[in-house]
Amino acid sequence: MPHATLFAGPEGTGTFQLALACARYMNCEARTEDDACGTCNKCGKYNTWQHADTFFSYPVIRVNDDTNSSDFIEQWREMVKADAYFTLDQWKQRITDTKQIQIFVSEVPVITKNLSLKAYEGGPKVQIMWMLEMMNEKAANKILKILEEPPSDSFFMMTAQSADSILPTILSRVQLVKVPALSDEQIAEALQDRHGCDAKRAMDIAYLADGDYAKAVQIYGSTDDQTAFLAQFKNWMRACYKKDGKAIGDLSAIVSKYSRDAQRQLYDYALHFTRQCIVFNYGQLELARFTDEEQKFAENFAPFIHHNNVVAISELFNAASQDVGRNVNARIVFVDLSLKLHRQLHRKH
């Protein structure tokens, strides 16, 4: 094993699970050629998140000068135990309402200390770092030394959404493993196996999730929301097209009561829907990621999306999603967006 490995892949592709599986494999007492046994004493400790020589680092909010991951270990345990596939947004929501999260420089002495300890379980020590791109520059500079020469029998298993966002000084010291997005079939199969989802619905969800298993699980857990989003989206687009001030006002009141996360999900959903309309317009029905119900609406709505407005509309949804993330007044974002959408929907082909 190289002493530092970076698994880089988009959210929901299982980079964290790979890091974890490697740590378990290295520690397993009866590993086979291709996997850990899953049943020995060590595997048992991994299965219950109790392996004493496996340490976790992840982005957190700043509490004081010594802030590090262990300050949020309770929330972290709850999160990983609920489902090892989770998104950055879900983690953020669990620990903060507004603040920025990072891996701070004060994380590094804790890592150094953990890896210098005598191995409690007698096997290799593994430091798992989730979302390495959220490590600030100070921390990145400070970690270089231990990354290059970790204490004996110590290993780094790190994850990032993309290698592009990692400093070259770090990249040059790790073994990079690029993890590709999952196929729709893989996602649908996992939903069926792990959640008992029926085949038809699993495929519908896989289309929406776009290669992101964490998102698929999120949609599966909130399919009502997804159906609600479609209903909301239909009403909203009709109101925008007609410039129906009352309907827009009513909708803005409803949407502004959503959590900020849900507001962003609505705008992300709108963005997804608009993009799929273009695929639909090109007659690539089987490529358009629509559920049956969405397709019915798309038959009416897609003709209003075309090469003269799709870029502008996508940018509007993106900007709205970002504004919500920055705490801009939710009703103003929604109304302003609706009026701009009205103009775009009336643009000629």
Write out the residues near Zn ion by the rule CB under 5 A: 28, 36-37, 40, 43
Nearest residue to 107 (alpha-carbon basis) of 128, 79, 80, 135:
135
Min dist CB 29 to Zn ion, Å, is 5
Q: How far apart are CA 2 and CA 316, in angstroms?
A: 45
> Which residue's CB is nearer to Zn ion, number 40 or number 262?
40
> Which residue's CB is nearer to Zn ion, number 101 or number 126?
126
Min dist CB 38 to Zn ion, Å, is 6
Buried b (16+ CB within 10 A) or exposed e, 226-235: beebbebbbb
Min dist CB 31 to Zn ion, Å, is 6
SS3 string, the chain, reads CCCEEEEECCCCCCHHHHHHHHHHHHHCCCCCCCCCCCCCHHHHHHHCCCCCCEEEECCECCCCCCCCHHHHHHHHHHHHHHCCCCCHHHHHHHHCCCCCCEECCCHHHHHHHHHHCCCCCCCCEEEEECCHHHECHHHHHHHHHHHHCCCCCEEEEEEECCHHHCCHHHHCCCEEEECCCCCHHHHHHHHHHHHCCCHHHHHHHHHHHCCCHHHHHHHHHCHHHHHHHHHHHHHHHHHHHHCCHHHHHHHHHHHCCCCHHHHHHHHHHHHHHHHHHHHHHCCCCCCCCCCHHHHHHHHHHHHHCCCCCHHHHHHHHHHHHHHHHCCCCHHHHHHHHHHHHHHHHCCCC
Min dist CB 44 to Zn ion, Å, is 8
> Which residue's CB is nearer to Zn ion, number 40 or number 345?
40
Min dist CB 51 to Zn ion, Å, is 11
Q: How far apart are CA 70 and CA 61, in angstroms?
A: 12
Q: How far apart are CA 4 and CA 27, in angstroms?
A: 16
> Which residue's CB is nearer to Zn ion, number 34 or number 224?
34
> Which residue's CB is nearer to Zn ion, number 48 or number 64?
48
Min dist CB 119 to Zn ion, Å, is 17
Min dist CB 20 to Zn ion, Å, is 13
Question: Within 13 Å, how many C-alpha atoms sit on residue 159's CB side?
Answer: 26
Q: How far apart are CA 297 and CA 277, in angstroms?
A: 10
Min dist CB 55 to Zn ion, Å, is 20
> Which residue's CB is nearer to Zn ion, number 20 or number 305?
20
Min dist CB 41 to Zn ion, Å, is 8
Min dist CB 340 to Zn ion, Å, is 57
> Which residue's CB is nearer to Zn ion, number 38 or number 325?
38
